[in-house]
C-alpha cells in the first residue's frame, strides 16, 4: 500500500514538473519545475527499492540466506538517490546562477526577452 502511494506521489511530482517546464515563461518557475522533476524521480526510485516488511540486507540469525531475496531491502536505489540529490543541488545552484546573470543582462526573468529574433 505505502509503496503504491509513494510511487503515485513521485509520478505526480514528475508530471507537475514537466507541466511547469512546458507552460511557464519565468525562468525561476522553470528552475523550480526542474527541481520538482528531480524530487519526483528520487521518490520514485526509492519506492522501487522498497520491500514491505523488509529488513537490512545483512545475513545473520535474523535473516537467513534462503529468505534474503524476499525480505532484504535493496540498498542500491537509496545510494543512487543520495548521489542524485547532491548532483541535483549542484545543478539547481548552477541554474540559479545563470538566472541571476540573465537578470543582470536584461532586467527580466521572462523567457520572451531572450528568445527574440536576431534580425
Give the mean pLDDT of 54-71: 77
Q: What secondary structure does DSSP assign to 35-72, as a single string?
A: HHHHHHHHHHHHHHH--TT-B-S--BTTB-TTTHHHHB
User: What's the whole-number average pLDDT of the chain?
Assistant: 88
Whether the pLDDT of residue 119 is over 70: the answer is no
Domains, in order of start, for the chain: 2-52+70-113 (1.10.287.3510)
Whether the pLDDT of residue 70 is over 60: the answer is yes
State percent of the chain over pLDDT 70: 95
Q: At what angle do helices 75-106 and 27-49 cross, to 10 degrees?
A: 180
3-class secondary-structure state, position 110: strand
Q: Pick the more confident residue, 31 or 51.
A: 31
Whether the pLDDT of residue 98 is over 80: the answer is yes
Summarised one tens digit per residue, pLDDT across range 31-46 is: 999 999 999 999 999 8
pTM (predicted TM-score): 0.83
Amino acid at each position: 500500500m505505502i509503496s503504491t502511494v509513494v510511487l503515485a506521489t513521485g509520478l505526480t511530482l514528475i508530471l507537475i514538473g514537466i507541466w511547469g517546464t512546458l507552460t511557464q515563461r519565468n525562468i525561476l518557475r522553470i528552475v523550480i519545475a526542474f527541481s520538482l522533476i528531480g524530487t519526483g524521480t528520487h521518490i520514485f526510485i526509492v519506492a522501487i527499492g522498497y520491500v514491505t516488511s523488509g529488513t537490512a540486507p545483512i545475513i545473520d540469525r535474523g535473516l537467513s540466506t534462503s529468505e534474503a531475496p524476499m525480505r532484504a531491502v535493496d540498498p542500491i536505489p537509496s545510494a543512487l538517490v543520495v548521489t542524485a540529490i547532491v548532483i541535483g543541488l549542484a545543478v539547481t545552484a548552477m541554474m540559479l546562477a545563470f538566472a541571476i546573470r540573465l537578470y543582470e543582462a536584461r532586467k527580466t526573468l521572462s523567457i520572451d526577452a531572450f528568445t527574440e529574433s536576431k534580425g
